[in-house]
Structure 1
């Protein structure tokens, strides 16, 4: 992943909590791995490009996070744009992408999400996780 020293911090806390508005994502880091956390929106990317809120690097996995109200399709676009701008290799590097929302906002429901997840996996080697806030993810699933 491209580097942005002014926007980065290393975290080895037991829990890494990302919050914005009313959305909250907690990463359970019980192994206390050293995780690179990047503030993307307004720091690493501060121009007119679509961008997600945060990116993390954990082992050799890139993690992209968008904390949303209800516009899930827009959140996916923001993550996709961020991958193109920040990832060293958008098609090859293993990724986890999170959209955490406060209320559901996709016109055709969960079926559409399954289609988006499948396309995301093929195009970006990314697992797309779309969950209602608050959501907790165990980082031991991606750490070595």
Structure 2
């Protein structure tokens, strides 16, 4: 991942909370590891034309977590994450990624979400999930998607 000194910080809190309006994700960091948190929207990517997600977390050198906190437009959130991966990832195809959309939209499952999960796995080596309003993810093994 590229460096953005003015847009990133290292946090070691037991809970790392990212929130925007009603959408919220909490990353459990029980071992208090140093996690690199990058604010993408309005900082690392700071123009109004480029699609970008809200945050990227780097819990380990070989894992990137892309987070979009969204209202209801899941398809726009997908485009934002895809654009951010293309612009910021060191290795679009091989580095492991977790892409999370926390949405106020219901439902979060269905054939369109399943198709996106397949596409993200093939194109970006990424797990893709959509959760409603609030979600917790364990940073000890984020790719297993355990709460």
- Range of TM-score over shorter length: over 0.9
**Secondary structure of residue in 1 paired with 2:17:** strand
Partner Cα separation in structure 1 for residue 104 and residue 114 of structure 2: 19
Task: Point out where structure 2 has 5 or more consecutive residues left out of the alignment.
Answer: none
Residue 68 (structure 1) aligns with: 70
**Secondary structure of residue in 2 paired with 1:80:** helix
Residue 110 (structure 1) aligns with: 110
**Secondary structure of residue in 2 paired with 1:140:** coil
Residue 125 (structure 2) aligns with: 125
**Residue 87 of structure 2 corresponds to residue 85 of structure 1:** yes
Q: Per-residue CA shift, 1:71-125, capped at 9, x if unaligned?
A: 111101100000000001101100001000012388xx61110001101011000
* Aligned residue-pair number: 141
**Secondary structure of residue in 2 paired with 1:5:** coil
Q: Per-residue CA shift, 1:38-86, capped at 9, x if unaligned?
A: 0000000012110000001111200100000111111011000000000
Over 4 Å off, 4+ runs: none
CA RMSD of aligned residues (A): 1.5
